[in-house]
Chain A
């Protein structure tokens, strides 16, 4: 029988090619998975959490913040939760953040993923400046907007009267009652979720969303003329000029042209 000669060099090249192929396949699956789990935007992080992008880089998934939390608010994402594995988050409708004044979860963080300076005012820890998210009211399902008297969220708010206030409005239907509508003040709300926990409707009509998801942005084009401070936003505005070429054809021709009208 003739033995087939396979040179070492061929074997070597084949091995290199194989390794490269497996590495590429593995890398593809691996990065696709990571991309998938990090895409979930609706996570509420502990107080003092740095920007989500940086948080995912920095959090070492040690669970020290979870251990420090006296209310078992914080959870670590488990396999199957479809969240970035091992990172801390909380579900306010189950257990909200009770806004401890000494914020035990933040100083224990060994990596700075929970940033002490972001919850500090005048060199003292201050949970009231925390920014975990923002409470959003669904005015369609909130029974206070229906005219039924409820101020559960207002009463539950630890920044009573500041983060949520009650706006009185005449109820035209009855003519002699008032609507007591809750209003969230975005600059005060810390996103602790006590309001969401307290909400009496079947599914909470006031709920916490991460600020990037919950808020829009007007941009520099619009300024409140009645607010002197609002003009300060223009200090950093950039000038953008757009030039539109004016058509040289007669206006009537545009009606006769066969281009689509829209």
Chain B
């Protein structure tokens, strides 16, 4: 029991936050609670604190919209939050699509899809291309380009306000991740993930690796959705510095040798440089 808890505690916490956030948003619509109103694009906490998606605001800016004060305050709060705790914490701890893609990744491991074909046909840098493209289309057409096709808002808004055909988008992402590309949506395509990767490059909370404990079992690399960020495993003691790390902490809990742990950026740096 203790090992079960040890091996899945962060996963449990992540699902718990993801689902409670959904429930709180849903309750605002269904039962009129006002703890968290709106959705991931923009919301209101306790009817006072505004929260807004910085990437949506960026697209609005590209489209040439006038940004209101409320929106800017919301963007500021959200941006500072993710800047401190790691940009892609949004991806693994908040975004509901993460549940779909994690399910696809799990099934992919169980079915052994990767054993049949290991080669991944696409680059992880694709998300930055999509990010740039979204801003270009926003500017050219005067709309918020990604917000019009975003499966994230589709699913999230769908759960709060009614799903419509949104389930089809989820099915497509699930099948894409399962059969076409490993961690395809979150790891390669999603421009919101790309945006938060850029933001997360500066964050304070990091996963750190200590080489002396590592036994090269590579469980962390198997389970990591962005395994390129763990390039140092077994080679040198270093923290994960890439913004592409989602701080999901799966690597920490699957590691039986205590080689991976959360750390604060500054301290981790001191350790490596021996200061």
Verify if B21 is at the interface (C-beta below 8 Å from A): no
What residues on A are CB-neighbors of B64 within 8 Å?
57
Q: Give the number of chain B interface residues (Cβ < 8 Å).
A: 54
Q: Give the number of chain A interface residues (Cβ < 8 Å).
A: 36
Verify if A158 is at the interface (C-beta below 8 Å from B): no
Verify if A26 is at the interface (C-beta below 8 Å from B): yes
Verify if B137 is at the interface (C-beta below 8 Å from A): yes
What residues on A are CB-neighbors of B130 within 8 Å?
26
Distance, CA A85 to CA B41, complexed state (A): 13
Number of A-B residue pairs with CB-CB distance less than 8 Å in the complex they form: 142
Tell me which of B41, B140, B148, B164 contacts A62 (CB under 8 A): B41
* Contact stretch, chosen from B52-60, B77-85, B205-213: B52-60
Nearest CB in chain B: distance from A14 CB, A: 13
Verify if B70 is at the interface (C-beta below 8 Å from A): yes
- Nearest B-chain residue to A65, judged by Cβ: B38
Given contacts A67-B28, A79-B166, A111-B70, contact A54 B65 (CB under 8 A): yes
What residues on A are CB-neighbors of B247 within 8 Å?
none
Verify if A106 is at the interface (C-beta below 8 Å from B): no
What residues on B are CB-neighbors of A85 within 8 Å?
147-150, 153-154
Distance, CA A112 to CA B66, complexed state (A): 8
Given contacts A34-B145, A57-B60, contact A79 B168 (CB under 8 A): yes
- Residues facing A in B54-106 (CB within 8 A) are 56-57, 60, 63-68, 70-71, 74
Given contacts A61-B41, A80-B164, A111-B67, contact A86 B141 (CB under 8 A): no
Q: A76-B161, A110-B52 are in contact. List 16 more A-B contacts (CB 8 A).
A: A19-B123, A27-B133, A30-B137, A31-B141, A33-B148, A34-B145, A38-B143, A62-B39, A67-B29, A78-B157, A79-B163, A79-B169, A85-B150, A86-B153, A111-B67, A111-B71
Residues of A at under 8 Å CB distance from B?
A: 19, 22-23, 26-27, 30-31, 33-35, 37-38, 53-54, 56-58, 60-64, 66-67, 76, 78-81, 84-86, 108, 110-112
A-B pairs, top 9 by smallest CB distance, nearest first, are A78-B164, A80-B165, A62-B42, A57-B65, A79-B165, A62-B38, A112-B68, A57-B63, A110-B70
